[in-house]
Structure 1
Amino acid sequence: MTFFAHESSYIDENVTIGDGTKVWHFSHIQKGAQIGEKCSLGQNVNISNNVKIGNGVKIQNNVAVYEGVVLEDYVFCGPSMVFTNDLTPRSKYPKGIQGYKKTLVKYGASIGANATIVCGNTIGRWAMIASGAVVTKEVPDFALMAGVPARQIGWVCECGDVLKNELQCNECGREYALINGELTEKSKS
C-alpha cells in the first residue's frame, strides 16, 4: 500500500507519508514533515517543516499546520481552523523555530471549523473544541470548549456525544467518573 497525492499538490523532499494517506488538491507538505497512515488532508492544506502528524488524522480544507504543532493519532481538524506558533509575531523581527511555542493535540481530539488554537497549549485526549472557539489555555481530556476565549461548557464521550449530569453516554453507553476535576472512563466489569 502507498499514499495518494493529487497531481496539484506539492510534496517537498525529505517527507514521510504513511500508507493509505490521501493528500488532496493544492496542498503542500514541507520538508521534514512526518504524516502517519490513513490520514486525509483536504484541499489547500499546508503542513509546515518538521510537523508530526499521527495515524488516522483528518485535516479538512484550508488548514495550515505550522511548525511546532504535533497532532497525535485520530485528531480531527475542521475546515479553516487555525493554529498559531508565535505569541508575539513581528514581520521585522522574525524569531525562527527557536521562538515558536509548541502545541500538542492529543489522541482523538476534535477541533471545529474556524476555531483558533493559540500556541503553547495542549488539547487533551478526546477533547472537543466548538466551531469558532479561541483556545487560549490548556484543555483537559474529554472537555467540551466553546466561546471567545474558549471556556469549558461540559464533557464529551470518546464517541463525541455530549455527556449529561450522570456522566453516562446516551449514544454508546460508556460511563465516566469525575475524580479530582479530571474525567476518566469507568472500568467495565
Structure 2
Amino acid sequence: MFVHPAALCESDQIGPRTRVWAFAHVLPGAVVGADCNICDHAFVESRVRLGDRVTVKNNVALFNGLTVGDDVFLGPNAVFTNDYNPRASVKKTEDDLLPTVIRDGATIGANATIVCGVTIGENAFIGAGTVVIRDVPPGAMVVGNPARHIGWMCACGRRLDADLACACGTHHGADPTTGGIVADDA
C-alpha cells in the first residue's frame, strides 16, 4: 500500500495496493480493502468498512455505520450521515446510529447527500447533488432533492434504453425481490 507522507493512516487493516493521499485521515479500526484510492482530505472513521477497488474522491467523510461494497465510486464532496436527528447536547452511543449500506458497483455523484439508514443497491447511480432519503434499488438511476427514479443503469456505466438493453450488449430484466433490475445472464 501507499500512504502519502502528508496523510494520517492509523488503521492496520488496509488492503494491498491501496493508496491514501495527502491530508486524508483513516482512523484506527477502519477496514479498507485492496486496490482502493482514498483521495485528498477524505476522512474514514473507525467503524467504516470499504470493499475492494473503492474510490473515495476528495473531501468525502465516511462515518461509523457505513459499509461500502466492492467497485464503488464515491464522488467528490459526497456526504454520508449516521445520525438521523443529531443534537450537539445529546451524546449517542453506537447503537443509536443508523447503518448505511452501499452495495457493489454503485456510483455516488459529486455533492450527493446520503441520509443514514438507507441501502443503495448494486450498480445504482446517484446523480450529482442528489439527496437520498430512502433505499435505492439495484441498477436505479436517481437524481434530485429528494431523490427520484429517472431510469436504469448497466453495470458498465451506461444508461439503459426503455427495453433495458445496453449498448454493451447486456440485457436486463426486473428483479421482483429487490424492485431493481438484474442482467439476464446473471
TM-score bracket for this pair, using the shorter chain length? over 0.9
Asked whether the 8 Å contact 1:53–1:71 carries over to 2, the reply is yes
Measured in 2, the distance between the counterparts of 1:20 and 1:179 equals 35
Q: How does 1:24-63 map to 2 (within 5 A)?
A: 24-63=21-60
The aligned amino acid for 1:7 is P
State the match for 2:6 in structure 1: 8
Query: Following TM superposition, where does structure 1 have runs of at least 4 consecutive aligned residues deviating by more than 3 angstroms?
Result: 179-182
Task: Give the gaps of 5 or more residues in structure 1.
Answer: none
**Secondary structure of residue in 1 paired with 2:70:** coil
TM-score by length of 1: 0.94
Give RMSD over aligned pairs: 1.1
Q: What is the aligned length?
A: 184
Contact 1:15/1:30 (<8 A) preserved: no
Query: 2:47 touches 2:66 (CA, 8 Å); kept in 1?
Result: no
% identical equivalent positions:
40
2:70 corresponds to which of 73, 81, 99? 73
In the alignment, structure 2 segments of 5+ residues that lack a partner are: none
Q: Distance in 1 between matches of 2:175 and 2:87?
A: 43
What are the Cα deviations for residues 76-108 of structure 1, in whole angstroms up to 9, with x where unaligned?
A: 000000000000100010213121100000000
Question: Out of 85, 88, 97, which is 1:88 matched to?
Answer: 85
User: Residue type matched to 1:70 in 2?
Assistant: T
Query: Is residue 2:165 matched to residue 1:173?
Result: no
Structure 1 pair 37–92 and aligned structure 2 pair: CA distance change class (3 A): same
Distance 2:175 2:53 in 1: 30
CA-CA distance at 1:179 after TM superposition: 4.6
